[in-house]
């Protein structure tokens, strides 16, 4: 029976089962909090000391489409390698890393630009012409100044020290991000010291010199200029370090040549496209924390990197990233310094990525310790393929902290910015058991001054981006300037709270819609206006993980187009199926379904706000809404089962495995294994949650005791 045949009276829906504890432990602790049916035999039960758990129903996730099928308990994301996500580009290409070497940044800029501009179909249909074999240029020998400098350094320092400096210079050429310093005793003669500085500049351009005292690290606050250096005491040392810029290649801004790089880096060539695109593989790394770290390592601003959509933390994910005026060589150097991160497939392109510049994601998943036979599993998967799943926002949309992010979103829309700050800090302290942070915060509440704020910072870790940004903004704007401090936070940080509240309202609305009318279209439902269907599949073009768009009013409130919706009437009802029905994400410029208007009115009344709260933010933001399909559909679904013997057995190869261990064999089923795993691979459109498709199969809680997914 097709879904269109389901009437409101016979719609197959029911409330989901209760879940497990909210805070995901690792290893055996995960098993203690798991339901008995999915807990590893012999694992101890939970102690009950964890904070009060959140369940799916707390966030409006309540119904199944095929509730007549039995549950199939299993462990989702028991290991992060059980969850693999590959971005799907707009042309349908599944993003993978196939080449790790960076481009030669000095040579093929024009060719890269031409390749980026070429139509994709041309590249696919025509074989690449063989490049003319270039005659190797004779290597240029060292200049006379460089030769003289090397000779002087050899006489002054000796061959051993000179060899060390040559090696450091060569290492810095291959890795521009290298940080290294070596020390040796400074010459006592002033002329020798002056000549030493010049010799290093001429012969070893990747290095720079300065005076330091023994035991000091880095450079002195005011380095002594070599030309005017006073006689050095015998304990003065020379520090030789990797230069922050290449000697002789300072910014060309002063000479008007090209787009100059920042902080003394070589100018960006005029014929090279502005953006370096690369494929990012990350394993168990949070997106925002990783971007923050990259910006810190590169010493750049907040707008260097652009993406098409954020990816899960607990998993191995692959996606495109574009970096503004950062070379492939620099990026490749960063990749070598980071754990659980690889960059590859470098190219130069003319523009950045925007959220929503993707078709969707390809998921490859392993569900462990499955309690069900193959016939039961096949029936559940067949139902998912035929009927789809209710397109809920997943649990990760609401955060993993002590207080759900939608609660902070409510305060934000009520303009209670003091409440936002107090909740952000106190919930972190409570959720993590950080008594030092709580004591420092309470001292600030009792005495709201800058010194009290400064005492909070040492208790925050680098991954606490929102908390650190908020505290530093209050220090800058004033210890009680909560609105100004909140407004100064990066847009993506502010948006987290609005997204969460919008998602909660949407989840509650879709559950109520299915309860009232079942899985058939009815008069008063919304569908997309055919004239606007090309707009990001009915969502704002800025969709991906983030269906809300926050826009700075000072920038003119520019926003990407929002698809228009129309209500189904008696005359048009026969033209639509349940796949056409959409529900709104609450926000500015949004139409609400006439058959659900009473529900939305009641929701806003409970929240003590109305739509004006989305339109007129004191922080000069407008929160735009979107339309989201009621049903989600999986595409290109494949599945199999595997038996395994140990709870921690590796069940499938990840993209990271293939990069780091290219000869690693594919895992195979162990006929004698006591555990059963379900292996699945499928594609979803952007902003659709794989965990919500899995819950339709498994009929089990997806709360974060069984998986860890960050908003």
Helices 144-157 and 190-203, axial angle in degrees (round to 10) = 130
Cβ atoms within 10 Å, residue 612: 10
Q: What is the per-residue pLDDT across 29-77, written as a single tens digit (0 to 9) for each? A: 333 333 333 333 333 333 333 455 788 888 899 999 998 999 999 999 9
pLDDT of residue 178: 74
**Does 235 or 39 have the greater pLDDT score?**
235
pLDDT of residue 616: 60
Q: How far apart are CA 430 and CA 425, in angstroms?
A: 9
Residue located via tokens 């058991």: 433
Average the pLDDT over 683-711 and give the result.
78
CATH class assigned to 492-629: alpha beta
> Sign of the C-alpha dihedral, residues 599, 600, 604, 609?
negative
Region of 483 (left: φ > 0; alpha: ψ -120 to 50; beta: rest) is alpha
* pLDDT at residue 395 tops 80: yes
pLDDT band at 485 (very low <50, low <70, confident <90, very high): confident
pLDDT band at 259 (very low <50, low <70, confident <90, very high): very low
Maximum Cα interatomic distance, the chain, rounded to a whole number of Å = 97
Judged by average pLDDT, the poorest of 172-181, 227-236, 420-429, 528-537 is 227-236
Q: What is the per-residue pLDDT across 266-304, written as a single tens digit (0 to 9) for each? A: 678 888 899 999 999 999 998 888 888 888 888 887 789
pLDDT of residue 352: 92
pLDDT of residue 349: 93
* pLDDT at residue 460 tops 80: yes
Q: What is the per-residue pLDDT across 572-629, written as a single tens digit (0 to 9) for each? A: 999 999 999 999 998 877 899 999 999 999 998 888 877 777 766 555 566 778 899 9
pLDDT of residue 105: 61
Cβ–Cβ under 8 Å, residues 547 and 585:
yes
Cβ–Cβ under 8 Å, residues 513 and 596:
yes
pLDDT of residue 399: 76
pLDDT band at 192 (very low <50, low <70, confident <90, very high): confident
Alpha-helix runs per DSSP H in 433-464: 435-446, 450-454
pLDDT of residue 295: 85
**Does 438 or 231 have the greater pLDDT score?**
438
Could you tell me the pTM of the whole model? 0.69
Helices (H) and strands (E) in the chain, counts: 20, 20
Q: How far apart are CA 379 and CA 377, in angstroms?
A: 5
pLDDT of residue 118: 46
- What is each CA distance from 307 to 89, 256, 322, 469, 571, in whole angstroms? 11, 32, 7, 22, 43
> Which of 522, 692, 381 has its CA nearest to residue 4?
522
Go through 265-294 and write b for each residue having 16 or more CB atoms within 10 A of its CB, e for each that does not.
bbbbeeebbbbbbbbbbbbbbbbbbbbbbb
Alpha-helix runs per DSSP H in 15-143: 28-33, 109-117, 120-125
Cβ atoms within 10 Å, residue 349: 18
DSSP class of residue 434 equals -
Judged by average pLDDT, the poorest of 144-153, 361-370, 574-583 is 144-153
pLDDT of residue 676: 95
CA angle 89, 90, 91 (to 5 degrees): 90
List, in sequence order, every beta strand (DSSP E) within 71-134. Answer: 75-76, 83-88
Cβ–Cβ under 8 Å, residues 20 and 703:
yes
pLDDT band at 265 (very low <50, low <70, confident <90, very high): low
Q: How far apart are CA 275 and CA 277, in angstroms?
A: 6
Q: How far apart are CA 137 and CA 440, in angstroms?
A: 64
pLDDT of residue 228: 41
CA angle 337, 339, 343 (to 5 degrees): 70
* pLDDT at residue 128 tops 50: no
**Does 456 or 202 have the greater pLDDT score?**
456
- Counting residues of the chain whose pLDDT is more than 90, the rounded percentage is 37
pLDDT of residue 17: 34
Compute and round to an integer the Cα radius of gyration of the chain: 29
Averaged pLDDT score across all residues of the chain: 76
> Sign of the C-alpha dihedral, residues 108, 110, 113, 114?
negative
Q: How far apart are CA 62 and CA 65, in angstroms?
A: 10
Tokens, residue 479: 């210890």
Tokens, residue 534: 């090309």
Average the pLDDT over 154-183 and give the result.
80
| Residues 6 or more apart whose Cβ sits within 8 Å of residue 481 | 474
- What is each CA distance from 564 to 306, 529, 553, 686, in whole angstroms? 27, 5, 23, 19
Q: What is the per-residue pLDDT across 78-127, written as a single tens digit (0 to 9) for each? A: 999 999 999 999 999 999 999 888 876 644 444 444 444 444 433 333 33
* pLDDT at residue 556 tops 90: no
Alpha-helix runs per DSSP H in 358-464: 374-387, 405-413, 417-432, 435-446, 450-454
């Amino acid at each position: 029976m097709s879904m269109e045949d389901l009437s409101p009276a016979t719609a197959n829906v029911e409330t989901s089962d209760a879940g497990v504890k909210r805070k995901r432990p690792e290893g055996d602790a995960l098993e203690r909090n798991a339901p008995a049916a999915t807990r590893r035999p012999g694992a101890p039960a939970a102690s009950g000391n964890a904070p009060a758990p959140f369940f799916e129903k707390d966030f409006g996730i309540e119904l199944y489409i095929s509730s007549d099928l039995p549950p199939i308990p299993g462990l989702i994301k028991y290991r992060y390698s059980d969850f693999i996500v590959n971005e799907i580009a707009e042309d349908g290409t599944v993003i993978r890393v196939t080449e790790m070497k960076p481009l030669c940044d000095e040579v093929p800029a024009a060719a890269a630009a031409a390749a980026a501009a070429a139509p994709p179909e041309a590249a696919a249909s025509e074989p690449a012409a063989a490049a003319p074999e270039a005659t190797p240029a004779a290597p240029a020998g060292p200049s006379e100044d460089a030769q003289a400098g090397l000779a002087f350094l050899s006489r002054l320092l000796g061959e051993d020290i000179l060899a060390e400096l040559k090696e450091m210079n060569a290492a810095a050429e291959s890795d521009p991000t290298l940080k290294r310093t070596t020390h040796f005793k400074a010459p006592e003669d002033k002329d020798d010291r002056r000549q030493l500085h010049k010799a290093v500049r001429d012969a070893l351009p990747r290095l720079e010199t300065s005076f330091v005292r023994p035991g000091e690290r880095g450079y002195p606050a005011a380095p002594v200029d070599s030309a005017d250096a006073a006689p050095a005491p015998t304990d003065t040392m020379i520090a030789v370090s990797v230069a922050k810029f290449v000697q002789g290649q300072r910014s060309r801004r002063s000479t008007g040549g090209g787009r100059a790089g920042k902080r003394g880096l070589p100018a960006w060539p005029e014929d090279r496209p502005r953006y370096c695109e690369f494929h990012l593989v990350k394993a168990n790394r949070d997106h925002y924390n990783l971007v923050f770290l990259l910006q810190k390592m590169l010493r750049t601003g907040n707008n260097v990197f652009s993406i098409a959509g954020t990816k899960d933390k607990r998993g191995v994910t692959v996606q495109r990233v574009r970096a503004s005026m950062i070379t492939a060589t620099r990026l490749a150097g960063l990749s070598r310094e980071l754990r659980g991160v690889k960059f590859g497939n470098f190219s130069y392109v003319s523009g950045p990525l925007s959220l929503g510049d993707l078709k969707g994601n390809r998921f490859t998943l392993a569900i462990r310790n499955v309690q069900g036979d193959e016939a039961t599993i096949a029936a559940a998967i067949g139902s998912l393929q035929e009927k789809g799943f209710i397109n809920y926002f997943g649990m990760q949309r609401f955060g993993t902290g002590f207080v759900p992010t939608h609660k902070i979103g409510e305060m934000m829309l009520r303009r209670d910015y003091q409440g936002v700050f107090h909740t952000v800090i106190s919930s972190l302290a409570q959720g993590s058991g950080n008594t030092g942070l709580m004591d420092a915060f309470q001292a600030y509440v009792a005495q709201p001054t800058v010194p009290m704020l400064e005492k909070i910072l040492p208790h925050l870790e680098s991954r606490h981006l929102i908390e650190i940004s908020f505290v530093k903004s209050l220090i800058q704007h004033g210890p009680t300037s909560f609105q100004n401090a909140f407004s100064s936070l990066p847009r993506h940080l502010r948006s987290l709270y609005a997204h969460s509240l919008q998602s909660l309202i949407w989840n509650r609305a879709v559950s109520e819609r299915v309860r009232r009318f079942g899985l058939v279209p009815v008069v008063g439902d919304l569908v997309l206006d055919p004239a606007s269907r090309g707009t990001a599949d009915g969502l704002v073009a800025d969709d991906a993980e983030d269906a809300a768009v926050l826009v700075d009013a000072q920038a003119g409130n520019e926003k990407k187009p929002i698809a228009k919706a129309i209500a189904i009437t008696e005359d048009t009802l026969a033209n639509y199926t349940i796949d056409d029905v959409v529900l709104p994400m609450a926000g500015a410029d949004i139409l609400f379904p006439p058959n659900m208007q009473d529900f939305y009115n009641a929701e806003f009344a409970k929240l003590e706000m109305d739509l004006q709260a989305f339109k007129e933010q004191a922080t000069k933001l407008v929160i735009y809404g979107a339309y989201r399909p009621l049903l989600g559909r999986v595409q290109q679904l494949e599945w199999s089962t595997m038996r395994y013997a140990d709870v921690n057995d590796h069940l499938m190869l990840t993209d990271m495995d293939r990069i780091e261990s290219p000869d690693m064999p594919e895992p195979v089923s162990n006929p004698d294994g006591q555990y059963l795993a379900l292996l699945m691979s499928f594609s979803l459109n952007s902003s659709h949650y794989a965990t919500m498709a899995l819950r339709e199969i498994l009929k089990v809680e997806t709360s974060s005791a069984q998986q860890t997914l960050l908003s």
